[in-house]
Amino acid sequence: MIPESSSDNYEDVANHIEKESAGSNTTVVELFQTIRKHKVLVVVFFLVIIAATCIYTFASSPRYTASSELFASYDDASSSSQDISSINTAGSYIATQIKSYPSLATTQAVLDPVIKDLNLDMSVKDLGELITVTNPTNTMLVDISVETDDAAQSQKIANAVAESLSDTVKSSLYSSSNSPVKLAVVQKATLPESPSSPNIKLNLLIGIVLGIIVGILAALVRDMTDTRLSSVRDLQGITNAPLLGSIPSNDAVKKTASVIASAPSSLVAEEYRRVRSNLSFIAPVEGLNSRLIVVTSTEPGEGKTTTSVNVAAAFAENGSRVLLIDADLRHPSVAEKVGVEGAVGLSHVLSGQANVADVVQRYWKANLHVMPAGPKPPNASILLNSTTMEAMVAQALKQYDYVIIDTTPMTIAADAGMFGRMGNGVIMVVGRGVCDKKDLSSTLSQLKNVEVPVIGTVLNYAEQSKKHHGNYYYYDTEGKRQQRHTS
C-alpha cells in the first residue's frame, strides 16, 4: 500500500503534468489560430522567400569542386634510428606535424609553383581563397578541395596543389636532409561531372523551411502589433461577458431597413434572432415584467444602431411590444436607418417642447414603435441625465415589453453607464476590424468603475462561419434561394 503522503505527492505531480499539458495544448492551438487569422500574410512571406531563393539559385554562376587526398606516413629511410626511436614516437610526431599542413598548403612556398606550372593569372592570395584544406579528425589524411567556375581548372589546381604540398613537406622543411614525414597522393582529383553549387535541391529545401519560419514569425509579429479586434478569440480574451451573437458582413445590413423586415429568411436575420433569443433570458427590471436593453459600443462605426434596429424588429416579430429610443443625441441615426421622420424626437421631449405621444412613430409592425433623437441639442449630456429622461424610461417600461435604447459610443460620452444603471447593464456591440483592443478594455473599466455590468456582447462584421449541419435553405435579399449543407 502506498503511504498517504506519497499518494498526495503523486496527485500533485499528476495535476502539475496535466496543467503543463493543457498549457502546451492551448499555446499550440493559439499559434494555429494566429496563423489562420493572418494566413494571407504567411502565404505572402512564404512566396517571397521562395521567389528570392529561386532567383538567387538560378541566377548564380555554377561552381565546380574537385578534391584530391594525401596520406602522411613515416619515411623510415629519411632519418636514422637516433632521430626517431620507435614507431609510436613516429606516429605522435606525424600527428603533430599534420595539423600544420592545412595552413601550409595555402602559403607562397606551395602555391607559387602551382601558379607557375599552370600559368595561372592570379596571386597567391587569390588562389588560396579557392582552396580548402582539411585534416579529418584522428586520421593521417589531408584533403584538398578546389572550387572554381571551370571543372577542368578545379581538377588541375587540386592535383597541382597536392603535388606541390607533398614536395614542400618532403624537402623544404629540412635543410640538410629530407623530412621524416612523407605525403603521398592516394586520391587524385577527377573531373567534376556536375556543379557543386548552387545546390538546387538544398537551396529550395532551405527556402521552404525559411519561408515557413519567416511567415509564422510575421504572423506572430502582426498579431502582437495589431491593435484592432479581429476575432471572437480577441473579444473573449478582453471581456468575460457572454457572446450573444456574431453578425457577418452582408450587403443587406447596410440597407435603409431592418434585415428582419427586408430579408427575413436570410442567414443574417437568423443571427439577429439568435441575439433576441439570448436577450430574452435577461432579468426584467425590478418590480416589472419588462426589460430594458441598453446598446452601446466603444467606437463609432461598430454597428450599434443597426444592431438596435434589428434586435427591436426581432422582438416585435415575436409579438412583443417594443419601443426603440435613439438616445444618441450627438449623432442620431435610427430615423435614417428605418426610414422614418427624424425632425422631431427625444430632444424635444426632454426640453419640454413635445410630448412622448407626439414623437413616437410606428415602424414595420403595429407593436414596434420608434422614438427618433430629433435635432442635435447643445446640451445633450444635461438632457440625458435629467429626471425627465429617467421618468420617461420608467413610464415606457410600464407600457412595453422591451425598451431598447441606442446610446452614444463610450469613447464619445459615458451616457451608456447612466442608462445601464436604470436596468441590469448594457449590451456591448463590437465591430471586428473597427474596435481598438485598448479602447475596449478602457470602456469595460469605465463601466466597471460605475458598477454597470456588460450583459453580453455582439460581434459585428464577423467572418462567415463554415459550420452548417444538414441541408438548410436561406434566401438572399433578391429572393434567390441559397443552399448551405454539410454531411
The domain total for the chain is 3
CA angle 254, 255, 257 (to 5 degrees): 120
Q: Name the residue among 357, 409, 358, 416 with its Cα closest to residue 385.
A: 416
The yes-or-no verdict on residue 281 having pLDDT over 70 is yes
pLDDT score of 298: 97
Q: Which residues pair with 322 in a beta bridge?
A: 368, 402
CATH number, domain at 405? 3.40.50.300
Q: Decide which of 18 and 275 is more confident.
A: 275
Angle between helices 304-317 and 267-279 (to 10 degrees): 80
Residue 296's pLDDT is what? Answer: 97
Per-residue pLDDT, 8: 53
Evaluate whether residue 20 is within a structural domain: no
Tell me, what's the pLDDT at 96? 83
Query: Cα–Cα distance between 476 and 392 in angstroms, integer?
Result: 39
263 lies in the same domain as 371: yes
Q: Looking at residues 308-331, what average pLDDT do you find?
A: 97
409 neighbors 460 (Cβ within 8 angstroms): no
pLDDT tens for 428-440 read 999 999 999 999 9
Do the Cβ atoms of 241 and 457 come closer than 8 Å?
yes
Both 218 and 347 in one domain: the answer is no
Q: Per the structure block, which three cell numbers stand in for 182?
A: 612523407
Region 469-484: what's the mean pLDDT? 46
- Helix, strand, coil percentages (3-state) for the chain, rounded to 5, are 50, 20, 35
What pLDDT digit, counting tens, does each position of 13-22 carry? Answer: 455 545 555 4
- 221 lies in the same domain as 292: no
Residue 88 lies in a domain: yes
Residues 98 and 203 both lie in one domain: no
Strands (E), 108-260: 131-134, 141-148, 181-187, 243-248
Q: Rounded mean pLDDT of 71-87?
A: 60
Residue 92's pLDDT band (cuts 50, 70, 90): confident
Contact between 252 and 266 under an 8 Å Cβ cutoff? The reply is yes
What pLDDT does residue 68 have?
Answer: 95
39 within domain boundaries: yes
Residue 474 bridge partners (DSSP) = 482
Distance CA 249, CA 245 (A): 13
112-121, 200-209, 466-475: segment of lowest average pLDDT = 466-475
What's the mean pLDDT in 134-142?
91
The pLDDT > 70 percentage for the chain reads 85
Average pLDDT, the chain: 86
User: 383 lies in a domain?
Assistant: yes
* Mean pLDDT value of segment 124-133: 94
Q: Tell me: do 41 and 136 sit in the same domain.
A: no
Q: How far apart are CA 60 and CA 83, in angstroms?
A: 53
3-state secondary structure 363-380: ECEEEEEEECCCCCCCCH
Asked whether residue 39 falls in the same domain as residue 100, the answer is no
Q: For a pLDDT cut of 90, what percent of the chain falls above it?
A: 68
Q: Residue 447: what are its φ and ψ, rounded to 5°?
A: -65, -35
Q: Say if residue 404's pLDDT is above 50.
A: yes
pLDDT score at 18 = 52
pLDDT of residue 430: 97
Note whether 143 and 49 are same-domain residues.
no
In this predicted structure, the answer to whether residue 154 has a pLDDT above a threshold of 50 is yes
Mean pLDDT comparison of 102-116, 178-192, 214-228, highest-scoring range: 102-116
Name the burial class of residue 121, with classes exposed (0-12), middle (13-18) and buried (19+) by CB atoms within 10 angstroms of its CB.
Answer: exposed
Do 340 and 354 sit in the same domain of this protein? yes
Segments of 188-321 assigned E as strands: 243-248, 291-297
- The verdict on 177 and 239 lying in the same domain is no
* pLDDT band of 134, cuts 50, 70, 90: very high
The kind and range of the H/E element at 312 are helix 304-317
Task: Report the pLDDT value the prediction gives residue 468, as an integer from 0 to 100.
Answer: 45
The domain in which residue 43 lies consists of 33-60+198-226
What is the model's pLDDT at position 179? 66
Give the mean model confidence (pLDDT) for residues 183-189: 93
CA 377 to chain centre: 45
From the DSSP assignment, how many helices (H) and strands (E) are in the chain? 20, 14
**By the 8 A CB rule, do 151 and 168 touch?**
no
In tens, the pLDDT along 190-231 reads: 999 999 988 889 999 999 999 999 999 999 998 888 889 988
DSSP letter for 190, please. P
Angle at 378 between CA 375 and CA 382, to 5 degrees: 105
Nearest to 105 by CA among 135, 75, 150, 138: 135
| Digit-coded pLDDT (tens) for 369-401 | 999 999 999 999 999 999 999 999 999 999 999
pLDDT band at residue 485 using 50, 70 and 90 as cut-offs: very low
111 and 160 within one domain: yes
How far is it, in rounded angstroms, from Cα 458 to Cα 302? 10
Residue 13 lies in a domain: no
pLDDT score at 14: 52
SS3 143: strand
For 341-361, the pLDDT digits (tens) are 999 999 999 999 999 999 999
Label residue 64 exposed, middle or buried (CB < 10 Å: 0-12, 13-18, 19+). buried
Highest mean pLDDT among 119-133, 159-173, 240-254: 119-133
In a domain, 408, yes or no: yes
What pLDDT does 257 receive?
83
Q: Is residue 192 part of a domain?
A: no
Average pLDDT, integer, range 462-467: 68
In a domain, 339, yes or no: yes
CATH number of the domain bearing residue 95: 3.30.70.1130
Mark whether 406 and 267 lie in a shared domain: yes
Shared-domain flag, residues 272 and 399: yes
